Structure 1
Amino acid sequence: MRTNLIPSTSLLTVAAFIALADIVCAQPIAQPIPRSTADDFASRLVSAAMGRLAHDVTYDGSYRSIGYPNGDVPARIGVCTDLVVRAYRAAGIDLQVLVHEDMTEAFAKYPALWGHSRPDPNIDHRRVPNLRVFFARHGDVLPRSRDPRDYRPGDLVTWMLPGNLPHIGIVVARHSTDGKRPLIVHNMGAGPSMEDMLFDFPITGHYRYDGHE
């Protein structure tokens, strides 16, 4: 009986190929880094908002020259928008930069309430009307309902206070004593506080923004 023999050189070639394949297959395959889910970001934002409650802040919205990026007024002062900006920054998003870049690109989309002819990174992100436009352009605009179940932790709510004063706060994962309404972390004049005030004033906006378009 005749047996077909494979030349030794061919055997060496096959062996080398198998060895190389083993090496290649043994290497870990790089996996794409998954984007943080909206719930993950909301959790970070809520934690950052809760952290603001530990800060003693005097209500002061006066114009200040600040750095850029990561510019901030002195830690001892601030208004409602500063609380939101600081919470977002702690969660990894610099609203000063994002608002400034968006206003530079689409200045006419923003309200002309202050007589400015160009963006100003010292103050633009510290104004509720500007934040409303930014969140509407780059986040989710949600119903301004009277149903507390529509408001999730990490959501942003804006109101009009008496005297036509715009206000903004962050919904957190705590509830009113009767369990019916989510609490709001905000600064309405007495420093950072957490209160049951979601429906105390006319709601002008309800947004969700996690940094992704």
Structure 2
Amino acid sequence: MRSDMTRKDSAMYYAIMIVLFVFCSIVFYVQTHYQHTSAIRPEDDYKGKIPQLHSSEDRDDDGVDDQLDILNGALAYVSTHPKYKSRYYENGYPDDNYGVCTDVVAYALKYAGYDLQVLVDADIRVHPQDYMVAEPDANIDFRRVRNLNIFFSHTAVALTTDVSEIEAWQGGDIVIFERHIGIVSDRRNKNGVPYIIHHNDPWQMAYEQDILEKRTDIVGHYRISK
């Protein structure tokens, strides 16, 4: 009897392992081949009028102010339909149509003339005690949410994290959550709270979403220039 039970237990174990292997294989394949996150922009549902803020700075001298450049850069990046996957790149910036949440911000700022890879690395070396990075690595440090929160607290304009102050949230702002980051959209929900342009996970249905009111983990809201 014990021998029969042992064989049944072994058969059940191997069956479970095979099912798990097949499931994980399917998930991996879907993540790497069939992510169809939509870059179609949502409608602006707010009936009021909050003018888009424009910065007095134009870092890349392209005739478009930083605030609008950052917004346009985020939209341009997600329009390429990047797939979600975290990996290390020898040149820092992903170049294979994969990426994570921090890449939305990095490419948005690069579009405006700010190279986060260079800027964050320089700030880490000036303020190592704030970052507590044992060995700085310019290729990855600027792609970590925690580091970006510290960097922006040093270099950007800190703004309210109260989402009810809707006029204080402007397209092109940067919002940081405990483990996530995104760019504030210029389109809003019916309450006037802006959508967020972000890349959260492989299962995300759209890159521009109404999530700000639903989050309870906002730790930072920044603007690059006045």
1:31-82 deviation per Cα after TM superposition (whole angstroms, max 9, x unaligned): xxxx63699210111111111231121211222322xxxx412241100001
Contact residue 158 and residue 203 of structure 1 kept, 8 A: yes
- Superposition pairs for residues 33-112 of structure 1, below 5 Å? 36=57, 40-66=65-91, 71-110=92-131, 112=132
Contact residue 104 and residue 118 of structure 1 kept, 8 A: no
Does 1:172 find its partner at 2:193? no
If each structure's strand is expressed as a fraction of its own residues, which one has the higher value? 1
Residues 36, 146 of structure 1: alpha-carbon distance in 2 compared, 3 angstrom cutoff: closer
Distance 1:95 1:156 in 2: 13
Q: Tell me which residue corresponds to 2:210.
A: 196
Q: Percent identity?
A: 33
Contact residue 153 and residue 173 of structure 1 kept, 8 A: yes
1:119-175 deviation per Cα after TM superposition (whole angstroms, max 9, x unaligned): 110110000000000000011111211312221111111113xxxxx0001012111
How many residue pairs were aligned?
Answer: 163
Structure 1 residue aligned with 2:172, among 151, 154, 160? 154
AA partner of residue 182 (structure 2):
G
Distance 1:133 1:139 in 2: 10
Distance 1:43 1:142 in 2: 17
SS at match of 1:172: strand
SS at match of 2:113: coil
The alignment's TM-score, normalised by the length of structure 1, stands at 0.70
SS at match of 1:199: helix
Q: Tell me which residue corresponds to 2:151.
A: 134
Distance 1:56 1:37 in 2: 27
Decide which moves more: 201-210 or 82-91.
201-210
Residue 179 of structure 1: CA displacement?
5.2
Decide which moves more: 75-84 or 188-197.
188-197
Contact residue 84 and residue 100 of structure 2 kept, 8 A: yes
Contact residue 107 and residue 118 of structure 1 kept, 8 A: no
Distance 1:146 1:193 in 2: 20
The alignment's TM-score, normalised by the length of structure 2, stands at 0.66
Distance 2:141 2:187 in 1: 30
Provide the aligned C-alpha RMSD in A.
Answer: 2.1
SS at match of 1:158: strand
**Contiguous gaps of at least 5 residues in structure 2:** 1-55
Which protein shows a greater Rg?
1
Structure 1 runs, 4 residues or longer, greater than 4 Å off:
none
**Contiguous gaps of at least 5 residues in structure 1:** 1-34, 161-165
